[in-house]
């Protein structure tokens, strides 16, 4: 039924469920890149996490459509739900391509980048957990921005190293896309931070 009054706990609970899945997905990708074993099994497990995230996002969008008065601006609710969903989509796409491209070995650069993405997932989880009380939100978003900048620099250097003449041509193609997607995953995390910053600024 259509609701005129906001149920804050419903929106925030759904955001927290999304954030838990984001952190879980980011950590699973990091473990996959670190251990580099049972790749197909790990990719399937991450796909299931991404699917669960889709379900939560759809539930958020449906609740948004049914509620007349919302605890946050409608555009921010939509933006945050979409952003969290995009992070999960990004990390799942990396895992699936590792399997699709038949990559046999990890790289130190990929391990560093997945570590950064996993740290972003932790920061996102903490920030979303404080959406109701607004405690320390900007500190989390600042850290996510710092991590994204670190990922950007690492990704550029990793791609440059691919073209130093020491790598097989197919490995260059494979890893160039993986590095690009890892940087994009960090970018998606920064997009989430930007939405949270917008929410903070509007509350002042």
Cα–Cα distances in angstroms (integers) from residue 63 to residues 13, 24, 67, 75, 76, in the given order: 12, 24, 6, 13, 14
> Taking the domains of the chain in order of start, what are their residue ranges?
8-203
Q: Quick check: 60 and 77 in contact, CB under 8 A?
A: yes
Closest CA to 76 of 196, 165, 158, 164: 196
Note the pLDDT tens digit of each residue in 3-38.
444 455 589 999 999 999 999 999 999 999 999 999
The pLDDT value given to residue 204:
65
Region 37-61: what's the mean pLDDT?
97
Architecture per CATH, 8-203: Up-down Bundle (1.20)
Least confident of 44-58, 112-126, 128-142, 181-195: 128-142
Q: How far apart are CA 74 and CA 78, in angstroms?
A: 6
Length of the chain: 204
pTM exceeds 0.85 for this model: yes
């Amino acid at each position: 039924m259509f609701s005129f009054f906001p149920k804050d706990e419903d929106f925030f609970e759904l955001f927290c469920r999304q954030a838990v899945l984001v952190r879980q997905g980011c950590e699973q990708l990091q473990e996959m890149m670190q251990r580099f074993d049972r790749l197909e099994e790990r990719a399937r497990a991450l796909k299931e996490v991404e699917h669960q995230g889709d379900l939560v996002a759809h539930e958020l969008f449906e609740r948004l459509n049914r509620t007349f008065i919302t605890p946050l601006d409608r555009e921010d609710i939509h933006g945050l739900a979409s952003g969290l969903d995009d992070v999960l989509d990004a990390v799942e796409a990396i895992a699936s391509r590792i399997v699709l491209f038949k990559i046999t070995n990890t790289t130190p650069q990929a391990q560093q980048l997945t570590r950064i993405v996993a740290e972003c997932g932790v920061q996102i989880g903490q920030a979303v957990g404080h959406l109701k009380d607004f405690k320390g939100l900007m500190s989390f978003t600042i850290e996510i921005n710092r991590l994204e900048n670190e990922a950007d620099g690492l990704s550029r250097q990793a791609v440059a190293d691919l073209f130093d003449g020491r790598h097989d041509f197919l490995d260059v193609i494979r890893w160039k896309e993986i590095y690009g997607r890892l940087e994009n995953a960090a970018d998606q995390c920064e997009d989430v931070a930007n939405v949270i910053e917008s929410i903070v600024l509007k509350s002042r």
